Amino acid sequence: MPQTRRISAWVSGALTIGLLTPAALAADDARPGLPPVVELGVGGTSPATPAREALADLLQQLESLQAEMRNLRGQVEVQANEIERLKARQRELLADIDRRVTELERHGTGTAPSGAASAGTTATTPSLVSSAVSAREQQDYDAAFAFMKQGVYGSATKGFRDFIAKYPESTLRDNAQYWLGEAYFVARNFRQALEEFTKLMSNHPNSPKAPDALLKIGYCHYELGQWAKARESLNQVMARYSGKPAAASAEQRLAKMKKEGH
């Protein structure tokens, strides 16, 4: 029948094409200069995949760098705040010593009241006890104190230490001991300052410098993070020297410690 013959012819043609196709493909592959055939499907790999992976990798690196930059920026801010705090503390220390030096120099000009030494004022001056001090002794003391006023604390500590060793019986020995501790304190060598102020309290407990020395002992403990010892020393200042400037300073520092949670 015609329809059956047409179907049979179509099947034969399809089989012929199926048999010829591999050979044709092989022939095509053998021809030089033609690009390879890329098969797409379940087992295939898109040419765009490596590019996407590289882009994703770059984006990940960028995010990591941005996170690192944020971290570094935070560290810089913390460091900047710490530097400002230290600068403020240094200004406070310098203002304190400038006040003491100014008071000392003012007393040295003869403007201090006649009972200043016996009253135990903060700045007991060389001139008030000069009758018991030799010229050479006074000169050595003044030389060390000049370094202190100039802010050359290394030379000041050496000068006062040499003075104490050279004049063990000097009436200026307690002053020299105090300023030795002060020089270390302003230079932020708090452990050495603590040692020197403690020596003054042990060797010269009745010195006019004792209130300030005990106050600075409290300050040294504070700077070293020794909160219990700082409170103990500052409370001793308030108990022993009530009404004196050192006691007022001790009270202020205790209030500051309480506010800071120490």
Q: How many Å apart are CA 253 and CA 92, to the nearest integer?
A: 13
pLDDT digits (tens, 9 = 90+) for 30-55: 455 555 544 444 445 555 677 888 88
Average pLDDT over every residue of 83-98? 64
Where residue 243 falls (left for φ over 0; alpha for ψ -120 to 50; beta otherwise) is left
Which residues in the chain are classed under CATH 1.25.40.10? 133-189
CATH number of 133-189: 1.25.40.10
Q: How confident is the model at residue 111 (pLDDT cuts 50, 70, 90)?
A: very low
Nearest Cα to 129, choosing from 186, 180, 182, 167?
A: 167
Task: Let me know: does 159 contact 122? Beta carbons within 8 Å.
Answer: no
Work out the angle at residue 218's Cα, subtended by the Cα atoms of residues 212 and 221, and round it to the nearest 5 degrees: 140
Work out the angle at residue 164's Cα, subtended by the Cα atoms of residues 205 and 151, and round it to the nearest 5 degrees: 95
Q: How confident is the model at residue 213 (pLDDT cuts 50, 70, 90)?
A: very high
State yes or no: pLDDT of 236 exceeds 80. yes
Task: Let me know: does 212 contact 201? Beta carbons within 8 Å.
Answer: no
Position 102, amino acid: T
Alpha helices in 107-226 (DSSP H): 116-119, 135-150, 153-166, 173-186, 190-203, 210-223
pLDDT digits (tens, 9 = 90+) for 148-206: 988 899 999 999 999 999 999 999 999 999 999 999 999 999 999 999 999 999 999 99
